[in-house]
Amino acid sequence: EKGGFDWFMRKEIYDQPKAVADTLLGRHDASGALRLDEIRIAPEELRAVDKIIVIACGTSFYAGMVAKYAIEHWTRIPCEVELASEFRYRDPIVGPTTLVVSISQSGETADTLMAIRHAREQKAKVLAICNTNGSTIPRESDAVIYTHAGPEIGVASTKGFLTQLVACYLLGLYLAQVRGTKFSDEIALLIDELDKIPAAIERQLGDLDGVLQLAADFADAPSVLFLGRHVGYPVALEGALKLKELAYIHAEGFAAGELKHGPIALIEDQLPVFVVMPPPGRDLVHDKVISNIQEIRARGARTIVLAEEGDEVAAPYADVMITLPKVPTLLQPLVAIVPLQVFACELATRKGHDVDQPRNLAKSVTVE
């Protein structure tokens, strides 16, 4: 069943090109127009939406953080993202023109379920992004976009996360199409870029020696930090979560811009720090992240820089460089997270941990 792999998780990491392709399949026509009839919320209702709230837990929450960047940029609809466990306890402002998007791989997470029940009581429309057909959350939602990752057995989410990202991008572009906030040729171009992602991940998975070596080098590190900006920030958080869950190592993800507001005090000699570089070019944040790397290197940290291939500026600042395929900025999480998943899986394997069943964790968390 593990298809020759030692762990389900490793198999699921290698399943990702297919999982992404399957989630895109049949959702657009040859001209690049989106076909999301399954949404079952009428276009007039989607045009009336004046606020989106994404609710989820854990890894799915980080997919939601990425969704916020994409949805606001493409649709100009204000979008919040909130931990499901916090949502209903703060008297959130929700009504008939609010679209609540719940993201859950299992479809059974109690925190998320309670949050959508609360939202529906306030007459909000609830759209679920879910990987499990017929599970409770999609059954209790007004609409659902299924991710087609196939069953995810490893407790730590991998292909679940990637396909959630794809579903969020599809939703954002669909809203842009319905509301006319993007030209159809721009949407078609982004769909085309999404269609290229499976091949890009396939290439990454064929070239992992550097990441495997890192796991060997850092097997005894007591703590590992992850920095990112813009959509690289949720990638940093997810990279840290994978390492905590699987390798039981203290790990933290930060928004790189926050470094100077406190976390820089943690930087010391030999500390491994992963930095997710935004693509170079028009992005002003690229330079700012370069300065962050200089600051942490000056304090003796070991920098592992994930940067787009051909990023000549970042290369000299990296102790170790991991190159990422060239993709549009908003889609970068799809390729940036892959080496971090492999790193966590490999490091946990080296430590002799049960990668598929980490201690204290369950695949679906059905209690609040």
Interface map 226-245 toward ligand F6R (x if CB under 6 A): ---------------x---x
Q: Which is nearer to ligand F6R, 57 or 79 (CB)?
A: 57
Half-sphere exposure of 162 (CA within 13 A, CB side): 32
Contact status: 55 vs ligand F6R (CB under 6 A): no
19-55 core/surface letters (b: 16 or more CB in 10 A; e: else)? bbbbbbeebbeeebebebeebebeeebbeebebbbbb
How far is it, in rounded angstroms, from Cα 171 to Cα 158? Answer: 20
Q: Pairing relation of β-strands 302-308 and 320-324? A: parallel
Contact status: 145 vs ligand F6R (CB under 6 A): no
Rg (CA), the chain: 20
Active-site residues, by number, are 363
Shortest approach of ligand F6R to residue 343 CB, angstroms? 14
Position among 110, 267, 320, 365 found at the interface with ligand F6R (CB under 6 A): 365
Position among 57, 240, 301, 321 found at the interface with ligand F6R (CB under 6 A): 57
Contact status: 157 vs ligand F6R (CB under 6 A): yes
How far from 158 is each of 6, 119, 126, 132, 154, CA to CA, in Å? 16, 28, 25, 15, 8
Q: Which stretch binds ligand F6R (CB under 6 A): 47-55, 57-65, 175-183, 228-236?
A: 57-65
Interface map 99-138 toward ligand F6R (x if CB under 6 A): -----xxx--x--x--------------------------
251 φ/ψ angles, rounded to the nearest 5 degrees: -145, 145
Position among 9, 13, 22, 58 found at the interface with ligand F6R (CB under 6 A): 58
Position among 20, 22, 54, 59 found at the interface with ligand F6R (CB under 6 A): 59
Please report, as residue ranges, which positions from 241 to 280 form the binding site for ligand F6R (by CB under 6 A).
241, 245
Q: Pairing relation of β-strands 320-324 and 51-56? A: unpaired
How far is it, in rounded angstroms, from Cα 18 to Cα 15? Answer: 6
Q: Which stretch binds ligand F6R (CB under 6 A): 18-26, 98-106, 259-267, 298-306?
A: 98-106
User: Which residues 6+ apart lie within 8 Å of 316 measured at CB?
Assistant: none
Contact status: 156 vs ligand F6R (CB under 6 A): yes
- Give me the residues that bind ligand F6R (CB under 6 A), please: 57-60, 104-106, 109, 112, 156-157, 241, 245, 364-365
